Chain A
């Protein structure tokens, strides 16, 4: 039994009595004005004495409460001494009134009024948090805000600053900040959060041994449940928090680096419209825009040109009619060299010398060179195609004993060598030395 603590906790109750009495005294003085009678003086005196007595009780309770509670020290100190000052003035006031020291009485009473406002504000800040009063004016922070991110690229969204910090601010910050660090836990910076509170770290490597997760997942009736008041953390928030801790609770890692699990992927997709499915090169990178007149001229030369998707400047290019297009027309494609990503040049009777131009198309991801007269010597000129993923060389007189020409093609995943002069025996060797490339014969 802690009687002192009990008395201390009466402070928030008792404190409203002196506030009421002292303000009432002020109002009565103002209402009565100059025409004073003996009885009115007695009434005011009575109120002032009540004010003085109740302030002393409130101050005693307040001092006791301050000994026990975890309050932010600078706020507490202001509240404590302003409150004490009111108490002193509240004792002076009835004395001045009784002895008709008009000047002193007036100054004292007005000072009490002003101090009440200030002390009350600090008191409120102590219990409710310093943001409590003006929070509604700032507008609420939405939990599932689709417009939270202008760019929804999981490669560039940092998990801590985009999800974890705002969540802690919404749900925990009121009691765990640098001004009011309940339990010694301060969440207003990443470093302080990792430091933990009075009882040690709240974040470990394992979510289920991290106090941060345990406290928010306890039954609500448990006295250690957090947050003790206000909206609890919801399923999405807890899932994100758990994921962040599982992945090492880093402050700088992006969504992609944190490897979202299935639940998290779903939350990101449905609440933030962030698509975490793996993106191909053409979905990740944007090509420069192309002048429509250039495309017109190429189309008239007999090229079929299509934009691969909405909002994507990459182009798919193929001959509209293979019989009408001669290989000389290949060079005009240099005008859109950075935009071509899928190119079909099959069946154009191309030879080694003709494909040198292709080396300029650095953003190619799929290239079809089937049914041509290309040999392994011509393939060397493809070495600059760092993004090429699929290369179709079927039906060409290629006699490749090895895939050395493919070494610089760092993104290459599939090579089609069907109906070439490639020796099936050497393919096994090729497959061994290029395990990341699928050779299709």
Chain B
């Protein structure tokens, strides 16, 4: 039996076999004998999540435009399928041709969140690829990119090459280099050396020595002599998104996926400067796609997919410079085809009543708003830049437009937070409730529902809060209970909170150094995977993993770093400079805000990049 037949045999035995069908409408099938480079693109999570990821769609499309390359998708099989595959000796395979991942030339992996790291190692194991880069004599190059690559160190020993920043160009450079390197017959190391010169944003972890102080902090990170590796690795930047490749077809999955719609990226980057937000730092500067280009892409995608919804995506879609015009043109054009236009990630202060009216001519789902913190002082600390008046105006508008469900997102454990800030959350919820009742009864929809959700803040690398301690779990629990008891007093309010364990782990791996890689390896040996899925979170497995590695998670979580400490990612340049991050950290401690840089340059450091922010 060939591998495809063996997979078919297992499919009746698992939940949701449609995850493994492949051959979806618009997926790219090529003749393997007629391409030079086989590229496997792994999204280290289950199919429905991976198929909702925009970055993968963009890179899949741009690679498959080449005649010489075939890019295929790979997802981590759900634990039921994984178990069957292991028992039956079926290796990790690609969706398109069901080729074992081990037989590809390049294995690209996207790093979207730290809690997928165990899935990466599990996937490598299932593929039969040695975990450590140094142990791999043949098989595909393992190349990682995505937001978590801005602190690549926890994965350093497992990865051959990281590519930092926008991938539209660098992924082609990796493939071009592969072709010429293979033709040259040179050893593996030569590919990595040449990548430093020929691939934008290339970081080769094995080319660096990391030394540690006696107290466990990093002493220095030095490029090894003779490798040509730079002291500071700069990210790749695509300056013109209008000219950049964007998919003109999208794969239409058989089963339901998380985002079952057309995702249209209207711009990349965000200028708001919220100090907790890693995306707001690493995706700078703001680059918009032109309206004409967006209309052109949208039309092609509607015709090619049959989806009935277009989502205008970005980090803060309300900030698109001509949003009312764009929304209006979209609604006009696609109304006849019954295609809905939706706007995710609403900001409170750019609540565009008319735009919303236009885009939401459909059933009103809950309106989601993110004040992030309960008091003005704390919102100033994090530079959220919204006021209580903004929030009250936004919800009053929404209630008079017929919304009756509001979701409010907050973070708990933000730097300088006190119990008072937590009480402020309950206070805001009570005020939102009053706004609802201030709208005349005949104008508002019945059935008020307010959901307050508070996640535990995880300080992220490459942000002004990269030096901060994560709030200890005891205080988190105390504040969760405090908030719960306060919210219980208000009618019609639901409170949702998260368990602390996963936030602690996330904290270790987001700001960890190379030594935590051993914890990851141990955790995988202990059976950990799909850690962000509560049903698979294996607390005991993780505890043992830390213990066996001799690592105390507290060193990475609740320890405040002095600003002169060498951070594990100090050799990685994400675009904004360390000097800017430090300035912002100091302003945060004074609860001083920094305005949106569209209103005046704040000197974040992006101007060091050619063609950015001109």
A and B: bona fide binding partners:
no
- Chain A residues near B (Cβ < 8 Å): none
